[in-house]
Structure formats: C-alpha cells, structure tokens
Chains A and B, each alone.
Chain A
Amino acid sequence: MPKIIVQVMPKQDLLDPQGKAVARALERSGHKAISAVRIGKRIELHYATTPTDSQLQEARKIAESFLSNGVIEDVVEVSIEQD
C-alpha cells in the first residue's frame, strides 16, 4: 500500500519533556554517549494508488494545518513511501 509519511518534531527551541525523560533514563542505564533525545511522531497516510503530486501537496497542507501544532511543532518531512 503506497503511503505518504509525515514526520513532526517538537520545535527545536522548546522543551521536550518526553525526550528529556528518555535521555535521563538512557544516561542512568549507562548510555553516556547520548547527550540529548528529542521525540517526535511519524504519521502514515495510506492511499489506494501511488499519490499524485497534487495529493502530495494536499498532504503537506494537512500536515501543516491539521496533523501538527504550528505553535510548538515543526513538520520536518512529508514524503511518499512505496512498499
């Protein structure tokens, strides 16, 4: 099934409590080389057939306006993925 993958990350300059918690847990379990962790989300939009350019454009719009919160998140990638 062809998909469009949307990747969303918390804005670079904002606190990411989830990432911070994971970073501390990693440090405690001995992974000293990892200095920071940031956690975002990956969203899959499934299509019956390979998405057209205009569908990709549409997905970009959806990603910016609906799937992410522009105040605290950035859309870092919108791309087509074939199986």
Chain B
Amino acid sequence: MIIDTVDQSKIEAGKEQPWAALGLKEDEYNSIKEILGRRPTSSELAMYSVMWSEHCSYKSSKIYLRQFGEKVTPEMKKRLLVGMGENAGVVDIGEGLAVTFKVESHNHPSYIEPFQGAATGVGGIVRDILTMGARPIAVMDQLRFGAPEHPDTARVVHGVVDGISFYGNCLGLPNIGGETVFDKVYQGNPLVNALSIGALKHGDLKLAKADKAGDLVILFGARTGADGIGGVSVLASETFDADGPSRRPAVQVGDPFAEKVLIECCLELFAAGCVSGIQDLGGAGISCATSELASNGGKGMKVQLKKVLLRDESLTPEEILMSESQERMMAIVPKRHLRAFKKIVDRHEVEYSVLGKVINKDRLLIYWGEQEIVNVPPRTVAHDGPVYERPVRKPKWQAPLNAASVQAQGLYRANDNTTDLAAQFVQIISSPNQADKSYITGQFDRYVGGNTALAYPDGAGMIRVSEETGLGVALSTDANGRYCQLDPYQGARLALAEAYRNVATSGAKPIAVTNCLNFGSPENSGVMWQFKQATTGLADGCLELGIPVTGGNVSFYNQTGDVAIFPTPVVGVLGVIDDVARRIPSGWQDEGNNIYLLGITKDELDGSVWSEVIHDHLGGRPPAVDLEFEKRLAELLHGASLQGLVASATDLSEAGLAQALTESVLRFNMGARVWISELCERDGIDKTSALFSESTGRILVSVGREDDVKFVGLCDARNIPVLRIGVTDNTGELEIQDLATWKLDELRTSWVATLPELFG
C-alpha cells in the first residue's frame, strides 16, 4: 500500500488528483490548495470531498436556512436549550425535563437497498438523539412512494416498511406516527424521512465538542468496515439514471442489537460523567466526527488511524476516514476518567480504541503509523466549507399551472347527482393515500415501553415522558407535495399549519418545529426557487405562530433524470401536555354526542385529493392559511382539554370532511347522523366543497350533551365559528342526510381493503 503523506504532497506537488470523481468542483479543489498552501494528500482530499458535499456542508441551502435563526423573537427562544446547528435541537418541557427531536432523510439509500436503507435511517437518527445526552423514546417516519400499481413500488414499500419495523422494533422504540403517501413523482426517488425523539434532564445535556487539550479521543461501538464508503457524498449528491438502480455501491448494513447495547452503554457513560464531548458517526464517518468535535471545541486533535479497530484489515487510510459503518460513536474522555470509561464499555462488551488526544493547536493531525497523512485546520473541513448563492428563477410552468384551477378547467361536480356524490365519497376514502394505513403501521411496534398515549390512527403521536406526573409530548409530521408544487411558499405554511393543528387537536400546546426539506437538484434554478420560497414560508409561518425551528435536514438531488420530485418540505411540530391522561382522543366512542365543525369551509378544491382521485388533475392555488386563526383554534382546544369538555377531536385536512367523518365513525365503530345543508348555506358552498374541500383551520369535535352549552360558549368567546352538523348514534351506520347512508361494515371494507390488496 502506497501512502500519500503530507511530506509527499510537497515533493510531488503537481500530482494529478481525482477531485472531480470525488464530486469536487475545480474552484473547490483550488480553495483546498489555498487553505493548505499545497496540494491535499489523498486522505485530506477524501475528507474535504465528503465534508464539502451537499449532504454534509449544506452549501446550497445555508443562506436560506439562516432565516430559521433570524426570524425569531426572544419569547420564542425561551424554551430553547439548544438551537440549530447541533446534532438535534433541545426544548425545555418543564419539571426540569427536556426533549430533543429531529427528522433526517435516507432517501437515496432506501431506493438502492430499501430494507437496509430505511433501517440505517432509523439507526442514524436515533444516534443523533443519543448524542445530545438523551434517551431515545420514540420514532416516527414520513414515507413517500411511487404509484401504488407500478411494479417497482411493492419492492420499495416492502423493503422500507420491513427495514423500519426491524430496526425500530429491535431497539424497543415505539413508532408513534408519520405519513405514507403514494405519487408517481416519487417512483424513482422515494422519500424515507425518519424522526426520533429523546428525553433528558436539563443537566444531562451533552454537546459534540472537544474543548480541553489532553482529553482522549476514543472510538467505540462497532468495528469499521467498508460499508457505504463515500456513500454520503456519492449517493446523496448525484442523481439516479432514469433506467433504475444500475449503480450498486456498497450500502450500509445495520445491526439494531449492537445499537441497543450502544445506547445503554452511552447513557451509563453519561451518568457516570466520563465523557466531556460525544459525536455519533453517520455520514462521512471519522472525517466528520474528528473535524466537527475539534472545530466545535475550538481545539485541534492528533489521531493515530492505525488504532481504528477494523473488520476488514485491507482498508486504506482514505477508506477508513470515509467509512460509514453503523453503530459507532466517538467520545472525548478526560484522562482521569479512562478507567471508569473502560469499566463501563467492557461491561457492555463494547469494543473501544483510544485514537489520540485533543491538542492546543488549530490543527487536525492524522497519522498512519509514523506517517503524517492529514494536517489541516479542523474548521475548514467541518464548518467553513463553500457557500453558494445558486441562481433562482421561478419556473416557466408555474403560471400556467396556477391558472389551471378546478374552476377554470370546469371539472365536473356531482352536487345534484347524489348517487355520483356518494360514489365519489367512497372512491376518495378508499384511494391509496386516504385508505386505512394499518397494513403498514401494524408492522411497527406502537406501544412498546408502555408510554404511548396516542399513535396511528390518531393525527398526532403522544408519548409520556414523566411516569410520575404524566408530563408528555405530542408530535405530528406533515407535508403535502401537491400543494408545494402549486405554491412552495404557501405549501410549507400549509404543512406547518397542519402539523400544528394536529398537535393542538391532541390537547397539547405546540412549542417547537423541526423539518426535513426534500427537493430536486439545487443546480436547477427552478428547484432553488422552490427551496427559497418554501424555507421563507416556513420561517415566516413559525414567526407568526411564535414557535422556533430547532433543527432539521436538507435532502437535495431527489429526482430521476431531469425530473424533480414535488418539493416536499416535511414539517414536524412538537407539543407539550401537562398530563397525557388529559389528551383528546380521535374517533367517536359515545352515543348521543353532538358533532361540531369548527372553522369555515371555503370552495378550496385546487390541489385536493378530490381533484387528484376524481379528475387526475393538479392545478390552481392551494388552500389559504390563516395562522393567527390556527393559533386561536389551538388555544380553544387546549382550554377545552383542560376543562375536559371535548370527547374527541379530528383535524380536517386531506379529503376534508369526508375523511374526518370516515375515520371518526370507523375508529370505534360508532355511527352518526350528519347534515351538511346548513353548512352549505352558512358558508355559501356546494356539497362537493362541503365534503371534499381542504380549507384549513377546521376541526371536527364531538361533545357530550352535558358540556354542550359550555363548549359553544367557549367557541363564541374566542370568536371561533362553530356549527353543529350531526350527532353520534349506535346504529352501525353513517348517514349523511340527503346524500347517502352507509353501513359501517361496508365503509370499513372499502377503507381497509385497499393497501392489503395492493401489497398484501
């Protein structure tokens, strides 16, 4: 093996280097030479190329992500213990407790190898949470697949769902929610976004920094192998060919049992106070961990790469630096704690190796035996990568798309033909995106640990954090690519509003936001325009709602050939609830409750499920969002939950009232009589809109007779439009007056059968 050393780089100054094949641009390569005052060694080149890739450096998105840190008020920061830039944001939830949460994408690996791609996606985000000093307590996932009937979709669906359930179930983490959406735009580029939540005491917070010279740098956990070498830079920064998975690089293979041991081992190390800084190894492996720890701590580091425990002895130093072997962590340990550290990792049978130490010099020095192979300022690798202001242009197709509204196209509405309208109702609720998802969620363990208060089919997941007081958190993640394609600014706000409303509907108080921004190629000016619009919309929306963005993830290059996916910013909202026993469930359980619709229904069918399922159409403008109203609505629900006035609540979003009614009656098999004529009259809409419009700011609640007066009074006092549209009854039927009556069994058959028929 010929080693390219720092000395060699000076002697052989003019050596040709494969910077282009590693994904670097010429000016990037030149600036590396400028930083170092010489050509990089091959190991340095490997480090820079992977750390300066889009995935690790955020070079195209950085200038827009700044808004999340700028558009905040002091009030919004009050609960924020750790904001953006760390592995995950940390939010105070009271009682001396905090939670940390984050979503991350694993889209490209999940297309190439769906099972391992999705599994390691879960593993990676769980380690991010662990790195903050928290015990992971739940996961969620946001999934987007291609057209359900396409022959390749089943491969991806089965692999991804199995991979998530395998890893999450083995770790013993409940999967408390998420979303599954099918659309042909995701055919060659599915989205697998995994979220994890962790809980910690304020004092247990850990940061990824090496800030004391002399402290030891220790790599522990699984051994380093050839898994996913360069996977991050190569996979996430390039686009798939249109003809499918022809590239087959080494993907990573996960081992959840090793991760479970690692979690327990780390938590014990934290509790024993052995560790002064910690970083997980994900994308870019040792390159990322060493440079980030040193850069964050404002120190340097001296590392002997031959000390890395290998699974495969033939690995070159460059490969060791780039390996993405899973289930590894890097700890900064003061020398005096080494014995205690060793005792704990030995007890867990976790292998470790002291690689080197923190030094009082702004250099990251890496040796291969006697030979110096890396000598760089850590900040230039980890944080001072290139920043691009890429061209931004509104796509030419945007205006014609916005003009092609449901109205302008004169799409047929079945208002006068009740047979057709009733048929549309069933067609919509049994379409793959609206149908029962328990075929998928049933494969995830939702209740392990015994702290799950709400999970699918509830709109938000809720988990108890304190077993003594019942203090808990609720989380919802939402996205709507169709709305974002019509208007990315508004689409991002719609996703925020929906996640916020879902959390409020559970009775929790929304307090913080995370995101996972899935877009096409940043080198396309139209995609960059979408990205700019969406991030601006989200930052503006968060400011209006008064809840901060605590962190997130950007995934670019989601496209097949030149065709980008719909812009799909996934927004996660976290809420806090004093006692999970006071949660508001979804679905009707009691007979004789009044059914109220809160909010106003407008004629907003552009971008709706109705336009997709009935007319295969996308055009016009997405529904309007009034965040000030959403805020009042959330306060109303919070107040009602404190007084115990509301028996159930379900938010209205995709497929509008039709979907909310279906889910509410089928949840506990409680029938209802519903009338919509008053609603049509009050809001000046037709029956199609009443049933299928996707106007925001609407919640369907059921209220016991004894609380009726109080509840309506509460709505009036807060100036929230409220209309009684029905009553629950135990007839085993859903009757919508002047439209149709369905036996619940029949409705259930249509709603439940779709996914098993497609994938079972």
Q: Which residues of A contact B (CB under 8 A)?
A: 10-17, 20-21, 24, 69-72
Contact = CB atoms under 8 A, between A and B. Distances in A.
B251 A15 contact: no
Contact of A21 (B227, B248, B257, B326): B257
Contacts of B112: 71
Given A14-B225, A16-B253, A20-B255, A71 B326 contact: no
Consensus secondary structure, chain A interface: loop
Interface in B215-267: 222, 225-227, 245, 248, 250-255, 257-258
B305 to A, nearest CB: 18
A75 B245 CA distance: 19
A70 B248 contact: yes
A13 B313 CA distance: 10
Contact of B222 (A14, A15, A69, A71): A15
Contacts of B226: 13-14
A11 B250 contact: yes
Contacts of B349: 24
Given A70-B248, A71-B248, A14 B113 contact: no
B676 to A, nearest CB: 51
B312 A13 contact: yes
A15 B253 contact: yes
B116 A17 contact: no
A16 B326 CA distance: 12
Nearest to A11: B250
Nearest to A21: B257
Contacts of A21: 257
A74 B248 CA distance: 12
A52 B284 CA distance: 49
Contacts of A20: 255
A72 B116 CA distance: 9
A40 to B, nearest CB: 14
A69 to B, nearest CB: 7
A71 B113 contact: yes
Contact of B253 (A12, A14, A24): A14
Contact of A13 (B225, B254, B255, B257): B225
A10 B245 CA distance: 19
A72 B222 contact: no
Contacts of B113: 69, 71-72
A69 B112 CA distance: 11
Contact of A72 (B253, B255, B326): B253
B650 to A, nearest CB: 41
B250 A14 contact: yes
B255 A14 contact: no
B343 interface: no
Contacts of B257: 17, 21
A69 B326 CA distance: 20
A10 to B, nearest CB: 8
B296 to A, nearest CB: 29
Contacts of A10: 253
B306 interface: no
Contacts of A16: 253
A71 B111 CA distance: 11
B258 A17 contact: yes
6 contacts: A14-B226, A14-B253, A17-B254, A21-B257, A69-B113, A71-B248
A61 to B, nearest CB: 17
Nearest to A36: B311
A15 B248 contact: no
A17 B349 CA distance: 15
A12 B314 CA distance: 12
A17 B113 CA distance: 17
